[in-house]
Structure 1
Amino acid sequence: MYNYKLQNIDKPNLYKDIFPYDEVPKVVFDGVQLPMDLPDDIWITDTTFRDGQQSMEPFTLEEIVKIFDYIHELDNDSGIIRQSEFFLYTEKDRKAAEVCMERGYKFPEVTSWIRANKNDFKLVKQMNLKETGMLMSCSDYHIFKKLKMTREQTMNMYISIVEEALNNGIKPRCHLEDITRADFYGFVVPLVNKLMEMSKESGIPIKIRLCDTLGLGIPYGQVALPRSVQGIVHGIRSICGVPQDRIEWHGHNDFYSAVNNSTTAWLYGCSSVNTTLFGIGERTGNCPLEAMVFEYAQIKGNAKNMNLHVITELAEYFKSQMHYNISPKAPFVGSEFNLTKAGVHADGILKDEEIYNIFNTDKILGRPIVVQVNQYSGLAGIAAWINTYYRLKDEDKMDKKDKRVEKIKKWIDNQYNMGRTSIIRSDEMDALVKKLIPEILEKKEERAC
Structure 2
Amino acid sequence: MIRSSIAVSHEIASGRPVVLNDTTLRDGEQAPGVAFTAEEKVAIARALAEAGVTEIEAGTPAMGEHEIAAIRAIVEAKLPLTAIAWCRMRREDVDAARAAGVSMVNVSLPVSDVQIAAKVKGGREGALAMLADVVGYAREKGLEVAVGGEDSSRADVSFLIEVIAAAKAAGARRFRIADTLAVLDPFATYTLVAQLRAATDLELEIHAHDDLGLATANTLAAVRAGATHASVTVIGLGERAGNAPLEEVAVALAQLHGRDTGVAFDRLGTVAAVVAAAAARPIPVDKAIVGANVFTHESGIHVDGLLKDRRTYQALDPGLLGRAHHFAIGKHSGLAAIAMSLSALHLVADETELRKILARVRDRAVATKSTITDDALRAIWSEIHLPATVPGLEEDAR
Pairs within 5 Å for 1:19-418:
34-35=6-7, 36-37=10-11, 38=13, 40-55=16-31, 56-75=33-52, 81-88=54-61, 89-106=63-80, 108-147=81-120, 149-185=122-158, 187-199=159-171, 205-220=172-187, 228-239=188-199, 241-243=200-202, 246-298=203-255, 301=258, 306-319=263-276, 322-361=279-318, 363-385=319-341, 403=349, 407=353, 410-411=356-357, 413-414=359-360, 417=363
Between 96-105 and 41-50, report the one with greater CA deviation: 96-105
Query: In the alignment, which residue of structure 2 is the partner of 1:25?
Result: none
Does structure 2 conserve the Cα–Cα contact (< 8 Å) formed by 1:212 and 1:252? yes
Does structure 2 conserve the Cα–Cα contact (< 8 Å) formed by 1:247 and 1:270? yes
Kindly provide the amino acid, as one letter, of the partner of residue 414 in structure 1: R
Kindly provide the amino acid, as one letter, of the partner of residue 99 in structure 1: A
Please state how far the C-alpha of 1:405 moved relative to its aligned partner.
8.2
Cα 1:124–1:415 shift into 2, 3 Å: closer
SS at match of 1:333: coil
SS at match of 1:283: coil
1:296-343 Cα distance to aligned partner (Å, 9 max, x none):
323664758743221112233345564312222221111221121212
Cα 1:415–1:267 shift into 2, 3 Å: closer
Please state how far the C-alpha of 1:353 moved relative to its aligned partner.
3.1
Does structure 2 conserve the Cα–Cα contact (< 8 Å) formed by 1:408 and 1:432? no
Cα 1:434–1:115 shift into 2, 3 Å: farther
Query: In the alignment, which residue of structure 2 is the partner of 1:423?
Result: 370
Cα 1:121–1:181 shift into 2, 3 Å: same
Does structure 2 conserve the Cα–Cα contact (< 8 Å) formed by 1:219 and 1:229? yes
Inter-partner Cα distance in structure 1 for 2:186 and 2:160: 19
Cα 1:115–1:405 shift into 2, 3 Å: farther
Please state how far the C-alpha of 1:149 moved relative to its aligned partner.
4.5
Please state how far the C-alpha of 1:210 moved relative to its aligned partner.
0.9
Q: Sequence identity, in percent?
A: 24
User: Normalising by the residue count of structure 2, what TM-score does the alignment of the two structures yield?
Assistant: 0.84
Please state how far the C-alpha of 1:271 moved relative to its aligned partner.
1.0
1:9-32 Cα distance to aligned partner (Å, 9 max, x none):
xxxxxxxxxxxxxxxxxxxxx898
Higher helix share: 2
Kindly provide the amino acid, as one letter, of the partner of residue 22 in structure 2: D
Please state how far the C-alpha of 1:209 moved relative to its aligned partner.
0.9
RMSD between aligned residues: 3.2
SS at match of 1:331: coil
Inter-partner Cα distance in structure 2 for 1:259 and 1:415: 38
Does structure 2 conserve the Cα–Cα contact (< 8 Å) formed by 1:248 and 1:270? yes
Inter-partner Cα distance in structure 1 for 2:3 and 2:84: 39
Kindly provide the amino acid, as one letter, of the partner of residue 347 in structure 1: D
SS at match of 2:67: helix
SS at match of 1:420: helix
1:91-125 Cα distance to aligned partner (Å, 9 max, x none):
3322222222122222x211100111122121012
Inter-partner Cα distance in structure 2 for 1:334 and 1:235: 36
Does structure 2 conserve the Cα–Cα contact (< 8 Å) formed by 1:53 and 1:280? yes
Unaligned runs of 5+ in 1: 1-29, 200-204, 221-227, 393-397, 438-449
Query: In the alignment, which residue of structure 2 is the partner of 1:3?
Result: none
Cα 1:165–1:318 shift into 2, 3 Å: closer
Please state how far the C-alpha of 1:70 moved relative to its aligned partner.
1.1
1:232-259 Cα distance to aligned partner (Å, 9 max, x none):
32333322x333xx22111112222211
Does structure 2 conserve the Cα–Cα contact (< 8 Å) formed by 1:133 and 1:172? yes
Kindly provide the amino acid, as one letter, of the partner of residue 232 in structure 1: L
Does structure 2 conserve the Cα–Cα contact (< 8 Å) formed by 1:254 and 1:284? yes
Does structure 1 conserve the Cα–Cα contact (< 8 Å) formed by 2:304 and 2:337? yes
User: Normalising by the residue count of structure 1, what TM-score does the alignment of the two structures yield?
Assistant: 0.75
Kindly provide the amino acid, as one letter, of the partner of residue 229 in structure 1: T
SS at match of 2:27: helix
